């Protein structure tokens, strides 16, 4: 199909109030049962934070505030230092249990989740903010204010020695934190796209 013809078709699709034929599923008319969403509804629901900081809200939080919040809302599941569990390890090495550790099998059997440490594996600090805001604390997700989430994010980064004690998390500083996981990260999908099948 020529470029002009394609533009013409596209114009019809966009302009027509009736079911029309679209790309890929040429035999399937666009049903048009969806209804428009107000921008205010999108803004309310759209909570995903991206690695470049897109969608991070206004607000800020200090390591010091985060420490108090952490003790109150997080330590019971994640441990006083974010390393003890039983819930996912937040800080520490990449979680490898040495094969010389005499209790290794027991540790793995008892706490398979602990082998993943957010601080060591996650490539972007923005994910700490995103996940804490949407899913934590486990018994009351989405109950934290943006400032509280910033403070907890600052404290988790501090527990990983990735920021200094005077660090203040906000939408400008979070994207600048260098996570050790980034240098190790690869994308299997990208690799597959570039090199064909596995």
85 to 124, contacts with another protein by CB under 8 A?
85-88, 94-97, 99, 104-105, 108-113, 115-118, 121-124
Under rule CB under 8 A, residue 166 binds another protein: no
Task: Compute the distance between CA of residue 25 and CA of residue 21 in angstroms, rounded to an integer.
Answer: 8
Instruction: Give the separation between CA 90 and CA 159, rounded to whole angstroms.
Output: 8
Per CB under 8 A, which of residues 59..78 are in contact with another protein?
77
Size of the site for another protein (CB under 8 A): 71
Question: Are 55 and 48 within 8 A, CB to CB?
Answer: yes
Single out the residue of 11, 16, 32, 172 in contact with another protein (rule: CB under 8 A). Answer: 32
Q: Which helix (H) or strand (E) holds 62?
A: strand 61-62
How would you class 169 by CB atoms within 10 Å of its CB: exposed for 0-12, middle for 13-18, buried for 19 or more?
A: buried
**Window contacting another protein (CB under 8 A); options: 60-68, 146-154, 159-167, 183-191:** 183-191
Binding mask 117-156 for another protein (x = CB under 8 A): xx--xxxx-xx--xx--xx--x--xx--------------
Does 195 help bind another protein (rule: CB under 8 A)?
no
Contact 153, 177 (CB under 8 A): no
| Binding flag, residue 79, another protein (CB under 8 A) | no
Q: Is 161 in the site for another protein (CB under 8 A)?
A: no
Rg (CA), the chain: 23
25 binds another protein (CB under 8 A): yes
Residue among 1 and 14 whose Cβ is closer to another protein:
14
- Rounded to a whole number of angstroms, the minimum distance from the CB of residue 178 to another protein is 15
Give me the least distance between CB of 96 and another protein, in Å please: 5
């Amino acid at each position: 199909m020529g470029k002009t013809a394609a533009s013409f078709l596209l114009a019809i699709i966009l302009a027509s109030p009736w079911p029309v034929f679209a790309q890929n599923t040429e035999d399937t008319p666009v049903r048009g049962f969806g209804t428009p969403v107000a921008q205010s509804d999108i803004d309310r629901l759209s909570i995903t934070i991206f690695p470049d900081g897109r969608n991070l809200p206004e607000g800020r939080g200090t390591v010091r505030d985060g420490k108090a919040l952490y003790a109150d809302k997080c330590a019971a599941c994640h441990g006083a230092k974010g390393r003890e569990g039983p819930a996912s390890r937040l800080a520490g090495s990449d979680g490898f249990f040495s094969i010389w550790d005499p209790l290794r099998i027991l540790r793995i059997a008892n706490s398979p989740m602990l082998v993943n440490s957010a601080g060591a594996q996650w490539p972007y600090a923005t994910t700490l903010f995103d996940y804490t805001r949407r899913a934590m604390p486990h018994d009351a997700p989405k109950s934290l204010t943006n400032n509280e989430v910033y403070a907890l994010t600052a404290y988790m980064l501090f527990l990983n020695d990735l920021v200094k004690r005077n660090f203040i998390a906000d939408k400008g500083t979070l994207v600048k934190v260098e996570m050790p996981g980034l240098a190790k990260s690869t994308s299997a999908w990208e690799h597959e796209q570039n090199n064909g099948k596995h």
